[in-house]
Amino acid sequence: MKEIIENVKLVENAPLEEPDRQYYFMEKAKEYVAKMSEELGRPLVAVIQTFGCQMNARDSEKLLGILEKIGYVEGTDEETADFVIYNTCTVRENANLRVYGRLGQLGAMKKKNPHKMIALCGCMMQEPEVVEKLKKSYCFVDLIFGTHNIYKFAELLTSAMQSDRTVIDIWKDTDKIVEDLPVERKYPFKSGVNIMFGCNNFCSYCIVPYVRGRERSRDPKAIIREIERLVADGVVEVMLLGQNVNSYGKNLEEPMTFAQLLQEIEKIEGLERIRFMTSHPKDLSDELIEVMSKSKKICKHLHLPVQSGSSRILKLMNRHYDKEQYLALAEKIRKAVPDISLTTDIIVGFPGETEEDFQETLDVVRKVRYDSAFTFIYSKRTGTPAAVMKDQISEDVVKDRFNRLLHEVQTISAEQCAIHEGTVQTVLVECVNEHDNHLMTGRMSNNLLVHFPGDESLIGQLVDVHLDECKGFYYMGRLENH
Ligand code: SAH
Ligand code: SF4
Ligand code: F3S
């Protein structure tokens, strides 16, 4: 069994300042990778599996940026890879269970190929009982780190390479934001951009504030600088990321609102489209609605998680708005930005939810007419207030409600989608269609997809497409003027 080193501090002549310190360790790790790859007579391959939300996806791009800098090439096959990283999610229990299942298989692969390195990071690692379980039953893992010290990846990896013990480094929280580390984007033409980290809302069902720490906003100058660089590198669309973007800037030395930040970003020449997520209804300001209505670049899409339509349940969820306030907000937005697409997240089966509460949720769905909705079965997360609430709902009742909700949501979103048939929309061409390589796939401002005949040279361009036929939740179309 492997010994464990916790909270590593490498005693070397490394610079103490960040990001210089990490660049120093990237050089160290590069030497190791070069040596190994000479021995093997081929480049070393790394595979990153990302679970969870867009925050994690962006974190994985940062990990890949560092891996490529030190000489790894990106691969897809876990079996043959020299290094496998799981960037984990714990928002619902099934996300968690999937990781354990796959980790078992990874252990078997490592037995056959002992030089294979395995690292685990992300939200699950912030839960002490998870790390205990890993120490006990998955001792073949080489490196475990959390969400707060991801910027230290090069340093941690170097110590894992130098050691035959499991390196574990988990921080409870941080107030630190390290800028200017390498990133390897998945798409050349669009990119996520973190504008804030953490969450202070403590919705009673949610584990995110416990695993992502307190809310911290990035300095607006650093955000603008990052986007300017991305644009210079070919990016035309950014997705601003935060658990509650509407509370951006409150704790900055010079406070700034999210709406003000958006106006600054809008000025960046060459940037064509701005998206953001997620918006908490309680903090969505009139200022933001006005900025959205006037903007030429902000996309016509707002993800506005409702969670439940019952005011009683919303109170138990600690969401700080009720059904009427939410409906009034949705109406105000639709009035100010008539062609906006509204999407949402809904949880069914929160403790104590009655059939009447559930009917309130269906009522909101019918009234708002969401363009799409992510529906979730409530999952009990240890340590959250809801986990110890009375009246946890039985599985068959929840499943029945879930199916009824899904049916309602899908019927309405198909009707909403069809509204645009026959119109011409500007789309950002993203990729070749997975099933038919004569077709290209593009995304409209309202986030709907359209497939149309075209070729690869269009990828990354904004083109006008005629929407010929709605297929439920996507369109078939053709290039306008072709
Ligand atoms: N910060 C975002 C949501 C992040 S988590 C917001 O507040 O809107 C994404 C979604 O997961 C949530 O909107 C919620 O619908 C769902 N979710 C979070 N915790 C959950 C739980 N314990 N059980 C089921 N769904 C959950
Ligand atoms: Fe979770 Fe609520 Fe924070 Fe969203 S706002 S991450 S649901 S606690
Ligand atoms: Fe999951 Fe963490 Fe995102 S728990 S949803 S990956 S913030």
Alpha-carbon torsion 30, 36, 37, 43, what sign? Answer: negative
Residue in 400, 316, 321 with CA at minimum distance from that of residue 351 = 316
* Judgement on whether residues 443 and 393 belong to the same structural domain of the protein: no
Are 238 and 271 a contacting pair, CB within 8 Å? yes
Over residues 377-390, mean pLDDT: 96
> In this structure, which amino acid lies at residue 54?
Q
Task: Determine the pLDDT at residue 480.
Answer: 92
Q: Say how far apart CA 240 and CA 224 lie, in whole Å.
A: 11
Contacts of 60 (CB under 8 A, 6+ apart): 48, 50, 85, 87
- For tokens 């209804």, the residue is 281
- Give the pLDDT confidence of 107-132 residue by residue, as tens digits: 999 999 889 999 999 999 999 999 99
* Judgement on whether residues 91 and 135 belong to the same structural domain of the protein: yes
State the CATH number of the domain containing residue 64.
Answer: 3.40.50.12160
* Judgement on whether residues 141 and 48 belong to the same structural domain of the protein: yes
- Give the pLDDT confidence of 351-360 residue by residue, as tens digits: 999 999 999 9
Q: Say how far apart CA 110 and CA 348 lie, in whole Å.
A: 40
* Judgement on whether residues 94 and 202 belong to the same structural domain of the protein: no
Q: Does the pLDDT of residue 315 top 90, yes or no?
A: yes
- Last residue of some domain: 369, 399, 418? 418
Q: Does the pLDDT of residue 104 top 60, yes or no?
A: yes
* Judgement on whether residues 102 and 239 belong to the same structural domain of the protein: no
The percent of residues in the chain predicted with pLDDT above 90, rounded, is: 91
Over residues 388-397, mean pLDDT: 94
Phi, psi of 22 (to 5 degrees): -70, -35
198: containing domain: 190-418
Given strand 301-303, what is the order of strands in its sheet?
301-303, 341-348, 372-377
Q: Is residue 184 part of a domain?
A: no
Return the biggest CA–CA distance within the chain.
67
Q: Say how far apart CA 431 and CA 450 lie, in whole Å.
A: 11
Q: Does the pLDDT of residue 2 top 60, yes or no?
A: no
- How far apart, in Å, are the Cα atoms of 227 and each of 195, 221, 300, 304, 321? 11, 10, 20, 24, 33
- How far apart, in Å, are the Cα atoms of 174 and each of 55, 66, 149, 198, 214? 17, 21, 8, 10, 8
Whole-number CA gyration radius for the chain:
23
Over residues 304-325, mean pLDDT: 98
Over residues 146-169, mean pLDDT: 94
The token duo for 285 is 């300001």
Find out whether 139 is annotated in a ligand binding site.
Answer: no
89 within ligand 3 shell (Cβ under 6 A):
yes
Q: What is the 382 CA–ligand 1 centroid distance (Å)?
A: 15
Q: What is the 364 CA–ligand 2 centroid distance (Å)?
A: 20
Q: Which atom of ligand 1 is nearest to the CA of 206?
A: 19
Over residues 473-482, mean pLDDT: 90
- Give the three-class secondary structure for 119: strand
- Give the pLDDT confidence of 234-246 residue by residue, as tens digits: 999 999 999 999 9
> Considering only CA atoms, which residue is closest to atom 7 of ligand 3?
208
The token duo for 266 is 């809008």
Residue 9: band (very low, low, confident or very high) from pLDDT cuts 50, 70, 90: low
Task: Determine the pLDDT at residue 5.
Answer: 65
Task: Determine the pLDDT at residue 8.
Answer: 61
Task: Determine the pLDDT at residue 13.
Answer: 84
* Judgement on whether residues 366 and 319 belong to the same structural domain of the protein: yes
* Judgement on whether residues 361 and 276 belong to the same structural domain of the protein: yes
Task: Determine the pLDDT at residue 252.
Answer: 94
- Last residue of some domain: 384, 418, 452? 418
Tell me which ligand sits closest to the C-alpha of residue 384: 1
State the CATH number of the domain containing residue 239.
Answer: 3.80.30.20
Tell me which ligand sits closest to the C-alpha of residue 53: 3
- How far apart, in Å, are the Cα atoms of 235 and each of 332, 406, 425? 32, 35, 20
Q: Is residue 2 part of a domain?
A: no
- Give the pLDDT confidence of 40-49 residue by residue, as tens digits: 999 999 999 9
Q: What is the 344 CA–ligand 3 centroid distance (Å)?
A: 17
Q: What is the 374 CA–ligand 1 centroid distance (Å)?
A: 10
244 within ligand 3 shell (Cβ under 6 A):
no
Task: Determine the pLDDT at residue 10.
Answer: 59
Q: Say how far apart CA 415 and CA 189 lie, in whole Å.
A: 31
Q: Is residue 1 part of a domain?
A: no
Label residue 98 exposed, middle or buried (CB < 10 Å: 0-12, 13-18, 19+).
middle
State the CATH number of the domain containing residue 447.
Answer: 2.40.50.140
Are 150 and 62 a contacting pair, CB within 8 Å? yes
Arithmetic mean of pLDDT over the chain: 95
Are 198 and 216 a contacting pair, CB within 8 Å? yes
- Give the pLDDT confidence of 172-229 residue by residue, as tens digits: 988 889 998 999 999 999 999 999 999 999 999 999 999 999 999 999 999 999 999 9
247 within ligand 1 shell (Cβ under 6 A):
no
Phi, psi of 36 (to 5 degrees): -60, -40
Q: Which atom of ligand 3 is nearest to the CA of 54?
A: 3
Q: Does the pLDDT of residue 366 top 50, yes or no?
A: yes
Q: Does the pLDDT of residue 96 top 70, yes or no?
A: yes
- Last residue of some domain: 418, 433, 448? 418
| Residues 422-442 as b or e (16 or more Cβ within 10 Å = b) | eeebebbbbebeeeeeebbbb
Q: Does the pLDDT of residue 1 top 50, yes or no?
A: no
Q: Which residues line ligand 2 (CB under 6 A)?
A: 199, 201-203, 206, 208-209, 243-244, 280
How many helices (H) and strands (E) in the chain?
Answer: 13, 20
- 109, HSE (Cβ side, Cα atoms, 13 Å): 17
Q: Is residue 174 part of a domain?
A: no
Tell me which ligand sits closest to the C-alpha of residue 197: 3
| Residues 116-138 as b or e (16 or more Cβ within 10 Å = b) | bbbbbbbbbbbbeebbeebbeeb
* Judgement on whether residues 342 and 361 belong to the same structural domain of the protein: yes
- Residue ranges of alpha helices (H) inside 70-117 are 93-112
- Give the pLDDT confidence of 50-94 residue by residue, as tens digits: 999 999 999 999 999 999 999 999 999 999 999 999 999 999 999
Helix or strand (DSSP H, E) at 286: helix 286-294
Total domains present in the chain: 3
* Judgement on whether residues 381 and 431 belong to the same structural domain of the protein: no
53 within ligand 3 shell (Cβ under 6 A):
yes
Residue 481: band (very low, low, confident or very high) from pLDDT cuts 50, 70, 90: confident
Residue in 413, 360, 359, 350 with CA at minimum distance from that of residue 381 = 350
- For tokens 């403590």, the residue is 202
Q: Which atom of ligand 3 is nearest to the CA of 56?
A: 6
* Judgement on whether residues 375 and 467 belong to the same structural domain of the protein: no
Q: Is residue 289 part of a domain?
A: yes
Are 476 and 468 a contacting pair, CB within 8 Å? yes
Contacts of 11 (CB under 8 A, 6+ apart): none
| Other CB atoms within 10 A of residue 360 CB | 19
| Residues 283-306 as b or e (16 or more Cβ within 10 Å = b) | bbeeebbebbeebebbbbbbbbbb
Residue 7: band (very low, low, confident or very high) from pLDDT cuts 50, 70, 90: low
* Judgement on whether residues 414 and 434 belong to the same structural domain of the protein: no
Q: Does the pLDDT of residue 17 top 80, yes or no?
A: yes
* Inter-axis angle of helices 258-266 and 220-232, nearest 10: 30
Tell me which ligand sits closest to the C-alpha of residue 317: 2
Helix, strand, coil share (%) of the chain residues, nearest 5: 40, 20, 40
* Judgement on whether residues 428 and 407 belong to the same structural domain of the protein: no
Over residues 260-288, mean pLDDT: 97
> In DSSP terms, which residues pair with 216 in a beta bridge?
197
Q: Is residue 356 part of a domain?
A: yes
Q: Which atom of ligand 2 is nearest to the CA of 91?
A: 1
The token duo for 86 is 């799981």
Over residues 261-266, mean pLDDT: 98
Q: Is residue 231 part of a domain?
A: yes
